[in-house]
Amino acid sequence: MVDVLRGTLAKVATLPLDSAVRELVKTMIDAHRVNPDLHRVLVEETPRAGRIGTIDGFDREFYGLIRAYLELHKEELRPMDLDLAAYICVSCKEALTHGAVVDSPEKLNDGNVDAFINEVTTLITRYLK
């Protein structure tokens, strides 16, 4: 998942904010859709199995990658604490995509996925601008 996100961030590094956020939301949905049942088990059981360090390492790297993107595009953003903004953006994307894929897959049926991507993109870009 980290490799996929690294690749996406490299691909969107020079894109405007709206396009980059949209592509990241799509990537997060695709990553969560690979095996939603396994994803749910990993999220629920990894902390219990004492592997929370693995999740923390992933989160730190993902936040760092998003933070770096925001730094590159800070002229497009309203003045803000970029560390906090990266945390909020990643947390929102993760919560919404995980929730939709794992807990409410009907939200991402064929007719709904584009609407979902549009709404999450709007949420994040309006927060940042």
pLDDT digits (tens, 9 = 90+) for 82-98: 999 999 999 998 889 88
Range with lowest mean pLDDT among 7-16, 18-27, 50-59, 69-78: 50-59
pLDDT at 124: 96
Give this prediction's pTM.
0.79
The number of distinct structural domains making up the chain is: 1
Q: The CATH number of the domain where 103 resides is what?
A: 1.10.357.10
> pLDDT tens digits for 60-83?
888 888 999 999 999 999 999 999
Give the rounded distance of the alpha carbon of 114 from its chain centre.
16
C-alpha distances in angstroms, 8 versus 3, 4, 32, 99, 108? 9, 6, 15, 21, 21
pLDDT: is 110 or 45 the higher one? 110
Average of pLDDT values for 111-125? 93
Judged on CB neighbours under 10 Å (0-12, 13-18, 19+), 121 is: buried
Average pLDDT over the chain, rounded to whole? 82
Rounded to whole angstroms, the Cα distance separating 93 from 24 reads 9
Q: Give the range of the structural domain holding residue 36, as residue numbers without chain letter.
A: 2-128
pLDDT at 44: 60
